[in-house]
């Protein structure tokens, strides 16, 4: 299941990004609440303060190898929105796509670290969370906000939706 995380201090930016994503992949099947993004000040210099983060889960299932194409597209959208100069921040919008399976959440990144695997075209993948014993579990490298239980509740809703989608396609739901 394709997941896109979007964060900004501007509701206008989040709405614009949602419209871009919906045009590309259809309307989101699920949308999280707007979460306060307070776990780090890493983005303050380029994005400002009072950031809000939202997740969209899309109904069209994707093949994992599409992650590179999708990350490149969301990077273009970030650049397009910033180039419009609607806000004073150099990066008023951040988009992080990934995918959710029954057993994990994988995110795309342009930054290399020891725990990330290079895919192609400057894009890396990271298994951010695993689903084990009926709950989401972070790794030592998992970003602080992805350790939040309110995020996990949304990802569990996505997981249940994915199970239903797969069940209706195949009649078989694998146990994880």
Answer whether residue 174 shows pLDDT above 80: no
What integer best gives the mean pLDDT of the chain? 94
Average pLDDT (92-108) is 98
**Cβ neighbourhood burial of 29 (10 Å; 0-12, 13-18, 19+):** middle
| pLDDT tens sequence across 110-169 | 999 999 999 999 999 999 999 999 999 999 999 999 999 999 999 999 999 999 998 876
Average pLDDT (13-17) is 98
| pLDDT tens sequence across 28-83 | 999 999 999 999 999 999 999 999 999 999 998 999 999 999 999 999 999 999 99
Contact 98, 5 (CB under 8 A): yes
Contact 52, 31 (CB under 8 A): no
**Please, which pLDDT band fits residue 170 given cuts at 50, 70 and 90?**
low
Q: What is the pTM of this model?
A: 0.93
**E strands present in 19-103:** 30-31, 35-36, 52-57, 94-100
Question: What's the confidence (pLDDT) of residue 73?
Answer: 98
Phi, then psi, of 153 in degrees rounded to 5:
-60, -40
Task: Specify the 3-state DSSP secondary structure of 171.
Answer: coil
């Amino acid at each position: 299941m394709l997941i896109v995380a979007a964060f900004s201090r501007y509701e206008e930016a989040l709405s614009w990004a949602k419209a871009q994503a919906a045009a590309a992949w259809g309307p989101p099947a699920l949308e999280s609440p707007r979460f306060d993004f307070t776990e780090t000040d890493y983005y303050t210099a380029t994005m400002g303060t009072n950031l809000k983060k939202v997740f969209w889960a899309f109904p069209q299932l994707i093949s994992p190898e599409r992650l590179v194409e999708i990350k490149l597209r969301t990077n273009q959208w970030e650049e397009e929105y910033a180039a419009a100069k609607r806000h004073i921040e150099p990066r008023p919008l951040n988009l992080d796509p990934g995918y959710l399976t029954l057993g994990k959440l994988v995110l795309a990144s342009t930054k290399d670290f020891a725990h990330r695997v290079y895919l192609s075209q400057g894009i890396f993948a990271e298994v951010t969370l695993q689903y084990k014993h009926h709950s989401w579990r972070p790794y030592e490298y998992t970003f602080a906000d992805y350790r939040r239980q309110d995020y996990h509740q949304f990802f569990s809703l996505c997981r249940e939706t994915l199970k239903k989608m797969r069940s209706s396609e195949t009649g078989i739901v694998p146990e994880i």
